[in-house]
Amino acid sequence: MSLLRTAARASVATRVIGSTHRRQQQRWAAQDATAGAGAGAVTPVSETPTAAPTPLGSAPSVLDQLAQLGELRAAGVLTDAEFEAQKARILSA
């Protein structure tokens, strides 16, 4: 019984470590992408790794785009300055 409990704990620990590692890699890749784009440049929403693809033939609504921006900012992918710049771009279109 003790051996099964140890195996179950090891399995859970391996899964947690793997998912944490994947999340960190995604965050670091997003940071590298924004840093590589230049100090003043803003990465478009459609190029971020967490952006959902839009169906062919239909453009996302303004509300959908703003909701997506809010999610990216909450996830730490976008800074407040990048969020404000993208929001202004969406609202001016």
pLDDT tens profile 2-51:
777 777 777 777 888 888 888 888 888 888 888 776 655 555 555 545 55
Residue 77 has pLDDT above 60, yes or no: yes
pLDDT for 53: 56
pLDDT for 16: 81
pLDDT for 57: 54
Domain that holds residue 51: 2-92
The answer to pTM > 0.85 is no
pLDDT for 46: 52
Q: Domain tally for the chain?
A: 1
Q: Give, as one character, the DSSP assignment of residue 61.
A: P
Task: List Cα–Cα distances, 34 to 10, 21, 41, 44, 58, in angstroms.
Answer: 36, 20, 8, 10, 27
